[in-house]
Amino acid sequence: MTRRASFYWRFFGRPVGRLGKVGRRLMVRINARNYASMAQALELRPDDDLLDVGCGSAMLLAEHAKRARHVAGLDASDLQLDVARQRLADRLAAGTAELVKGDVAALPWADGRFSVVTSMFCLKFVPDPLKALEEMFRVLRPGGRAVVALCDRLRDEKASGKRDAWGQWGWNATDARLLMEKAGFAEVTSSVIGSPASQLVQGVRVA
């Protein structure tokens, strides 16, 4: 990993230390509009069991928790999870929420555990996005939905060989839909959220 990529990873991908705290606060400000778009698209029901992959400090998960029966979040950053535990303290105490440190490519839940899986700009930091999507598909029950926010802001940088410098994937909507379908999802759609650089891709587990 280049020095520049390492900086980006520590700042946004897996925030640690003082630099990570700055990155966490910046992510919340940048994504506020996208969080609202995601929450609106979900139309959660009171009997939904939801997993947020790459939950960060649980800004989005806290909104989900107002509508879903049970919420779970997974992240790789201790710093982010510490904040998430404070934000979801009441739900955690009630047993209607759980937070786990782990790997998006090896989700620690049984097949068919959730009715909804979300992920907000997490896959750009994942070495094997297809494996992560396959894991999301696995933990969904038949009829369940995955709603994934992706950034194609860097697609031009990817094409020009600059992707490694920033350490993240630059996808467009077509890339994302094809990858979702390859992971097993049906009825895959995409729409722009927040800005033209952000895509909300949705898919259903039929069986």
Alpha-carbon gap, residue 2 to 172, rounded angstroms: 24
pLDDT for the residue 152: 63
pLDDT for the residue 21: 56
- In percent, the amount of the chain with pLDDT more than 70 equals 71
pLDDT for the residue 24: 52
Strands across the sheet containing 114-120: 97-101, 70-75, 49-53, 114-120, 140-151, 195-204, 186-193
- Average pLDDT for 172-184: 88
Q: pLDDT-derived band of residue 198, with 50, 70 and 90 as boundaries? A: confident
Q: What tens digit of pLDDT does each residue of 11-27 get?
A: 444 555 565 555 556 56
- Average pLDDT for 109-126: 92
Residue 40 or residue 60, greater confidence: 60
pLDDT for the residue 6: 47
Domains in the chain with CATH codes: 3-204 (3.40.50.150)
Burial class (CB in 10 A: 0-12, 13-18, 19+), 170: buried
Q: Is residue 112 pLDDT above 50, yes or no?
A: yes
Q: Is residue 177 pLDDT above 60, yes or no?
A: yes
Average pLDDT, rounded, for the chain:
81
Q: What tens digit of pLDDT does each residue of 146-175 get?
A: 999 887 655 444 444 444 433 444 567 788
List all residues 6 or more positions away from 123 whose beta carbon is below 8 Å from its beta carbon. Answer: 54, 104, 129, 132, 133, 148, 150, 169
- The model carries a pTM of 0.79
Q: What tens digit of pLDDT does each residue of 52-81 get?
A: 999 989 988 998 999 999 999 999 999 889
Q: pLDDT-derived band of residue 187, with 50, 70 and 90 as boundaries? A: very high
